[in-house]
Structure 1
Amino acid sequence: MKSFASNNAASATWTRSLCAQLGPTLPQQPIPGPYGPQLVYARHHGPPRHDARLASVLIHLFPHDGVWSFPLVRRADVGDVHSGQIGLPGGMIEPQETALDAARREFEEETGVAIAADQVQGELSPVFIYVSNFWVRCFVSFGPEITQWSPCDREVAELLFLPLGELWNEQIRSTIDVNRRGLQLAGPALEIGDRLLWGATYHILMNFVQTLRAGQSGQENAA
């Protein structure tokens, strides 16, 4: 992917081209090739249960060390099924709150950074988290460089920054074996430092990869 351009006009053109690919009609079918999930696929993209809890997360792109990046959180050990896992900032949608408002609120609560509504440019396909019964919506936003972060110690054990281009890096691709009620399931993962990013967060990010690739193809065809 392109580095963050010092030329603001070039950077704005690039972000607009990505934003144009975001919306409600993104890929819902199995992701082909090396990006595709294995046995756990249907558990993330099948229809949610009737009593699924609603949540939302946010991919916020910003220039970090000269390249477009986004923050991830390693969740604090609070005793639930997602403790210690790497994920996107986000959480449950409160009553009388929109999914977008929830994504922005949770992002600020977990990272200490407020995201303005006009920075949010679109939405990816939703993902169902089978093990915790969450139906998760994901929004994408863009913004300028961020120098001050204040992660919530109660919820966040560590704040990580992943360069966008790493989503294409074959060297960090891995697999994880998960035991569910005595059944061993294999799933795709990304190596982030000494830990693995997997599950619903992996599928959300691969949806994003597909969106970016579609946008890139569209630009090449237009040229």
Structure 2
Amino acid sequence: MLPDTPEDAAHWLRAAFAHSDVHYDPPVEEGLSDRPLRPAAVLVPVVLRQEGPSILLTRRTEHLHHHPGQISFPGGRVEPHDPDVCATALRETHEEIGLAAERIEVLGRLPDYRTGTGFCVSPVVGLVHPPFVLTPDSFEVAEVFEVPLAFLLDPAHHQQAQLEVRGGLRSYHTIPYGNYFIWGATAGMLVSLYRFLSR
């Protein structure tokens, strides 16, 4: 059960990451290609709301080349000028939704997640301290919304599905929430967060 107050939730999450490592098996998408994986990073933003912590997510616009219309974390490719994946996640978050790094307290990382589309994604978990104002990039982001962390950490909401890709079956995680269908890498990283916090 999650702590009741934002202060207690923040303390609980800080403690969970204080002595953490990422040396356990993450959920990895099947059906991976043999081509080299491109490094990327996302922010897993835990918003400290009075009614309970939530996870901030985006819905990508339909015209994007990679993952159009899908639910995702803010993030993107690692650029040569980024000093590390944390910097990538913070930079991309600011570029995509206008959330300033000053409002984000980085806690740590989850295991890298390898996708069937050729990316090795580093999930960076951070506490987001309200108040804040978002200015989404309308080219990339169709919508920004939040899902209660308690909902996402309930394994009863974690489902598995399969898709035929190039003659083989590819398994992936799904987490339906209201009118939103969270699946693929985003759902997989949320399951990874659940496994990490449940240890």
* Pair member with larger Rg: 1
Identify if the C-alpha distance between structure 1 residues 59 and 148 changes in structure 2 by more than 3 Å, giving closer, same or farther: same
Aligned length: 198
Using the TM superposition, name which of 183-192 and 78-87 deviates more.
Answer: 183-192
2:13 match: 15
Give the Cα–Cα distance (whole angstroms) in 1 for the partners of residues 18 and 9 of structure 2: 14
Shift of 1:11: 4.4
Give the Cα–Cα distance (whole angstroms) in 2 for the partners of residues 65 and 84 of structure 1: 30
Residue pair 1:129, 1:200 contacting (<8 A) in 2 also:
yes
Deviations 1:66-120 (A, max 9, x none): 1111211111112424000111110011112121111001111112111249711
- TM (normalized to structure 1)? 0.77
Give the Cα–Cα distance (whole angstroms) in 1 for the partners of residues 60 and 109 of structure 2: 23
2:151 match: 166
Shift of 1:191: 0.5
Give the Cα–Cα distance (whole angstroms) in 2 for the partners of residues 191 and 11 of structure 1: 24
SS at 1:64's partner residue? coil
More helix by share: 1
- TM (normalized to structure 2)? 0.85
Identity of aligned residues (%): 27
Give the Cα–Cα distance (whole angstroms) in 1 for the partners of residues 31 and 198 of structure 2: 23
Identify if the C-alpha distance between structure 1 residues 119 and 83 changes in structure 2 by more than 3 Å, giving closer, same or farther: same
Shift of 1:50: 5.9
> In the alignment, residue 197 of structure 1 is paired with which amino acid?
I
Identify if the C-alpha distance between structure 1 residues 79 and 178 changes in structure 2 by more than 3 Å, giving closer, same or farther: farther
Deviations 1:36-68 (A, max 9, x none): x8xx4474xxxx856221100011112235111
Output aligned runs, 1:1-223, within 5 Å.
Answer: 1-5=1-5, 8=7, 10-20=8-18, 22-25=20-23, 27-28=24-25, 40-41=29-30, 43=32, 51-64=36-49, 66-97=51-82, 98-116=84-102, 119-130=105-116, 132-169=117-154, 172-214=157-199
Using the TM superposition, name which of 61-70 and 96-105 deviates more.
Answer: 61-70
